[in-house]
Structure formats: structure tokens, C-alpha cells
Structure 1
Amino acid sequence: MENPSFGKYLKQLREQKEVSINQLAEAAGISNSQISRIENGLRGVPKPATIRKLADALSVPYAEMMKQAGYLEHDASEEAAAGSPDWASSRDRRDFKKMLEEDGELMFDGIPLDEDDKRRIRDVLTGLFWEAKQMNKRKPPSTKGK
């Protein structure tokens, strides 16, 4: 995913918070070289899980960082609130909504997850879902049976 302005946004945010690259790296649990490459535009937009770590380390809303990264729309429509990208069809949105609304109890190793854990899992799944959908839309049509 390409978004050259994300690196500038991250650097500006980090500097506003008066945090060094090394401090951010330690707080987020990612390498200082990775942060430097992101900020300098030498690396594409990080995956949602990395954005979550950066958002938590900088104490900024995850959704805002996801918007800046291009994973979420910037308008206030219901689709943006659900985190669907511009290219998603109504069928894609319905599939995603259905996946998130399945109401079984989430557990890990037999222990029910608390709301914070569920939110983090939902955030990661949101990014992965839309990334996979976008990749699937780019695949050339199958030539089977011709």
C-alpha cells in the first residue's frame, strides 16, 4: 500500500509529542530503522498491526492513523465508520459487516477475551480483510476452462 504522506504524518506526530525515534521504537516494540524508513518514505504504509502499535505508543486514536495510512475513508459516512475503503462494493461491505456481527463469544486458550482484546482483534481483522479484498480485486481473471 503506497501513501507517501503517511511517513510525513508519522514524523510530524512524533515530533509534536516530543518523542525521539528511539523512544517511539522502544514504546511500540518495533525497530528504530523501520520507523526511520517509514518517516523518510523509504518503506510503504505499515500493516494495521504495526499502525496499532504506533498509535498506542503515541497515544493517538488508531482510527485516525488508519485514515492517514489510507486504510479507512476520511468522510463521516457510515461506510467510513465501518472502515471500508473507497473501492469496496456494497456486497464487500455486507460481507464484512456480517463477519464482524457474528455474535459468538471470542475465546483464546479457553479464556473469554475482554473488550480491549476484542477491539484489538477487530482492528487487525479490519485491516487484513480490506487488504485481502483489494488484492483479490487486482488478480487477473482466471483462464480455466478456455
Structure 2
Amino acid sequence: MAEEFGNYLKQLRESKGLTINQLAALAGISGAQISRIENGLRGVPKPATLRKIAEATEVSYEELMGHAGYLTEAESSPEGPIPVWATSKDKRDFRQMLEDDGELMFDGIPLNKEDKQRIKDVLTGLFWEAKQMNKRTQPKHNPGKE
């Protein structure tokens, strides 16, 4: 998947007439990171990184999330991107995590919409990574061996 996404990103960047360094500057990430992604040497970027690339390339965030494997084609929800492997319980857990609509503040100052979205992107990525890791590490229950 990382190599496929890397090829997609390279084609996207070139179609926009951008060098690696230009894309890196626009997205606020390092040129080395862009290069590693394009060459399949780094895994698929996290949702927060994909949002930066989407804004820099003027491509929809959902399109990048789809190419990165976070979404099935055209899948999206009000809660944000949901991986194809997520169960209904996983989706419920995610909605519960985001339900608290309290005002987010930093150092006593309310956060603006852009900063709230950045935090949501990071939390979304971390939530789904943790869920996926948990699914890989949980021992399978074998009812005949209790």
C-alpha cells in the first residue's frame, strides 16, 4: 500500500508542476519525508499529514484518504475518515470519543477552527492506529480450551 500511495503522490505532485521541495514547503513537512513517501520507504502518512498534503496540492482530503487506504472509495462520515476494517463497535467507540463538544482551550485561550481541526486530525489518526494495533495484539478466544 505504501508503494502504491507513493506512486500516486508522485504523479499528483508532478501533475501540479511541483518539485519535492516546493510541495514540502507548501505542506509544512520535510522534503525528505515527501521523498520517502514517494519511494515507498515510509508507510502511508497519518491523516494529519494527508490533510497538509491535500491543502498544499488543492486535492480533497477524502481523495487522499481513499488513496492511502483509510477509506473505501468515496466513504466518509461526519466523524471523519473511517478505515474499511472498522467494526460497528469501533465506529461507536469513535463517535463516543468525539461527542464531547466542550470548548477546546490552550493556555486559557479558546482554540480557533483551524487548530480544532488539527487536533481532530491527530486524534482521528491515533484512535484508528490504536484500534488497529489492538486488533493485531489481542489473543483469539478459543472456547474449547478454557
- Would you call these one fold, judging by a TM-score over 0.5? yes
User: Aligned to 1:141, what secondary structure does the other structure show?
Assistant: coil
Find the aligned partners of 1:99 and 1:17 in 2 and give their Cα distance: 37
Alignment gaps of 5+ in structure 2 = 141-145
* Aligned pair partner of 2:108 in 92, 107, 110: 110
Alignment gaps of 5+ in structure 1 = none
Aligned to 1:62: 61
The root-mean-square deviation of aligned C-alpha atoms, in Å, is 2.1
Aligned to 1:136: 134
How big is the shift at 1:16? 1.3
- Is 1:31 matched up with 2:45? no
User: Aligned to 2:98, what secondary structure does the other structure show?
Assistant: helix
User: What is the TM-score of this pair, normalised by structure 1?
Assistant: 0.83
- Is 1:119 matched up with 2:117? yes
Find the aligned partners of 2:70 and 2:16 in 1 and give their Cα distance: 23
Give 1:90's aligned amino acid.
Answer: S
Moved more, 4-13 or 50-59: 50-59
How big is the shift at 1:23? 0.8
- Sort the Cα spacing of 1:75 and 1:64 in 2 relative to 1 into closer, same or farther, 3 A: closer
Deviation by residue 1:22-52 (Cα, 9 ceiling, x = unmatched)? 1112222322222112112222212222222
Identity %, equivalent residues: 65
How big is the shift at 1:104? 0.9
Give the number of equivalent residue pairs. 140
Find the aligned partners of 1:9 and 1:42 in 2 and give their Cα distance: 14
How big is the shift at 1:9? 1.1
User: Aligned to 1:92, what secondary structure does the other structure show?
Assistant: helix
Paired residues for 1:66-85 under 5 Å: 66-76=65-75, 80-81=76-77, 82=79, 83-85=81-83
Find the aligned partners of 1:126 and 1:72 in 2 and give their Cα distance: 13
Find the aligned partners of 1:113 and 1:48 in 2 and give their Cα distance: 20
